Amino acid sequence: MCLAIPGKIISIDSQQEEVFRNGKVSFGGIIRQVNLSMVPDVKEGEYVLVHVGVAITKVDEKEAMQTLEYLKQMGEMDELDTSETKEKTQSDN
Amino acid sequence: MKFLTEYRDPELVQEYLKKIHRITTRPWTLMEICGGQTHSLVKNGILDMLPEKITMVHGPGCPVCVTSLSVIDEAIYLAEQSGVIFCSFGDMLRVPGSTKSLLEVKAAGADIRILYSPLEAVELAKANPDKEVVFFAVGFETTAPANALSVVHAAKSGVFNYSILASHVLVPPAMEAILSDDENVIDAFLAAGHVCTIMGMEEYYPVAEKYKIPIVITGFEPVDLLQGILMAVQQLEKGEFKVENQYTRYVQREGNIVAMKTIFEVFEKGDRIWRGIGSIPNSGYEVNDQYKLYNARLKFNLNLPVAEENAACISGDIMKGLKKPKQCPNFGTACKPEHPLGAPMVSSEGACAAYYHYSSSTGRKEVIT
Ligand code: SF4
C-alpha cells in the first residue's frame, strides 16, 4: 500500500489555495491529476514521487544517478584500500 | 520508465549479489519492514539468491495485515448503514472481519467504492450531498498526509458529509516492540523508504543507538534492496550500528516538512492494536479534536466490542520475524488467497500471499562469485 511511483510533471494548475494545488503528471505516458501541495517548489518537467494521488517528494536526480553508481564508487574505494594495505596482506578482496 | 527500470538492471543485480556473497562471513538475520519490499524480494527471486548465511524475515509493514479485526468490524458496520457510501483502498475489501469481509457486505448490496485516492472521496461527498461518505483511512506514515489532506480539503470546501475511519499505524514504535521482545532474532533493519520520505531519518537514530542495531533506509526495486542489504551486512560485519540512507533520491534527513505539518494538523498520536501483535503504545494516528466532525467513530457513535483474533493464524510470529509463512500449519491448505484465514494471505504485500504466489520453495539458486 505504500507503493509510490515517479512521474514527470506536465503542467501545474494555478489555485488560490496551496492545499488544492494540483497538476498533470505523466507516468510513462499515462497522465493523471495529482495534488502538488506537498512539493511547493516543483516545476514543470521535474519528476515527483506520487502516492495515492498526492506527490510526496521531488526526485533528487543527482542522487538517483549516484545510487546507480554506488558499486563503482565502492570498487574505487576498495582499490584504494588494497593499495594502501598491499604490503601487509596479499588479499585481493 | 525513468527512475524505475534502471533499478531493475539484471547485470547490476548480479554485481550486488556477488559483492554480498563476498563480504558475508557470519549468519545474519535482516528484517525488511515494508510489505512492498517483501513483495519485491520474493517476486524477483532475491531471497533464493542471497548467501545462505543471510536470513530475511518479513516485518509488519503491510497495513492490510496489521489493521485489527475490531477495526475491520467497524468498517463493516459503517458500510452496512443506510445512506453511507463507504470508500476504501482495494486491498482492504477481502480482509476477513469477525464474521465477514467488506467484499461480502458489498456483494449483499452495500454501497462500497474502491478508490485510488482519499481526495476522490471528498469529491464523491460533494457530488452526493444527501449521503454520508466515509473513507477507510488505513496505512503507515506514507499514506497519512494524503488522508489528512482529504480532511483539510473537506473542511476548506465546507463539506460536512465526509468523515474518515482512521486506523493509521507508525513504524518506529513497531520496530521497538519487535526489538524488545525476548525472542527477538533481528540483527539489522531495512527501514521503509517511503515512510521516511515523509518522516525523515531522525526517529531512527535513538532506536539504532538503544538496541545497537543497524538501520538502513531502503527502497523497493531490486537494486535498492540489494544495496540496502549490502550496506546492512557491511555494518554488521564491522560491528557498527548506524542509521544509513540508501534511498537518497527520495529521502532527506528532515523528511517532507509540509507533509508532516498536514499530518499534525489533523491527527494526534495514540495507542493502536496491531493485528497479531497486540496493542503498541503511541503507534497510531487518530483524528484530533479540532477535526472531530470528520471522525467517523464519533459521527456514527461507534462502540463495538473488541473482537477476538483467529487463533489459527500465526501472523504475529511472522511479522516479528520468529516464523516464516511456510511454517504456518495452515499455509496453502486451510489458508489460501481464495479463502484467507488471516490478513497476510490477502494482500500481495502480505508475506503469506507473497510466498504463496511467487516463492519457488526449492531452495537457493547458485550465484557465481
Ligand atoms: S498462512 Fe494464513 S493462517 Fe497462516 S499465518 Fe499466514 S495468513 Fe495466517
Consecutive 10-residue averages of pLDDT for chain B (369 residues) = 88 95 97 94 93 95 91 97 96 90 96 97 98 97 98 97 97 95 95 97 97 97 97 97 97 97 98 92 97 97 87 91 93 92 87 86 48
Q: What value of ipTM does the predicted structure carry?
A: 0.92
Q: Which three cell numbers stand for residue B95?
A: 480482509
Please name the residue whose Cα sits nearest to atom 1 of ligand 1: B331
Q: How far apart are CA B36 and CA B46, in angstroms?
A: 14
Are residues B105 and B112 in contact, defined by beta-carbon separation less than 8 angstroms? yes
What band does A78 get if pLDDT is binned at 50, 70 and 90? low
Q: Which residues of B touch A35 (CB under 8 A)?
A: 119, 146, 149
Q: How far apart are CA A7 and CA A47, in angstroms?
A: 5
Given a cut of 50, whether residue A89 has pLDDT beyond it is no
Please name the residue whose Cα sits nearest to atom 8 of ligand 1: B313
Domain containing residue A30: CATH number: 2.30.30.140
Minimum CA–CA partner of A6 in chain B = B3
**Residue-wise DSSP of B86-123:** EEE-GGGGGS--SS--HHHHHHTT--EEE-S-HHHHHH
Q: Which residues pair with A26 in a beta bridge?
A: A8, A31
pTM, rounded to two decimals:
0.91
Minimum CA–CA partner of B16 in chain A = A71
Which domain range does residue A62 map to?
5-92
What domains, with CATH codes, occur in chain B? Answer: 1-304 (3.40.50.11740), 315-362 (no CATH)
The per-residue pLDDT of chain A, averaged, comes to 84
CB contact under 8 A, A2 and B61: yes
Average pLDDT of the segment spanning A17-30: 93
Given a cut of 70, whether residue A83 has pLDDT beyond it is no
Q: How far apart are CA B337 and CA B344, in angstroms?
A: 9
Q: Choose the closest CB to B195 out of A2, A39, A40.
A: A2
**Interchain CB contact of B171 with A (< 8 Å):** no
In which residue are the cell numbers 512521474 written?
A: A7
**Interchain CB contact of B144 with A (< 8 Å):** no
Given a cut of 80, whether residue A40 has pLDDT beyond it is yes
CB contact under 8 A, A38 and B258: yes
pLDDT at position B177 is: 94
Q: Which residues of A touch B91 (CB under 8 A)?
A: 1
Nearest to A67 by CA among B219, B202, B241, B238: B219
Given a cut of 60, whether residue A88 has pLDDT beyond it is no
Given a cut of 60, whether residue A93 has pLDDT beyond it is no
Domain count within chain A: 1
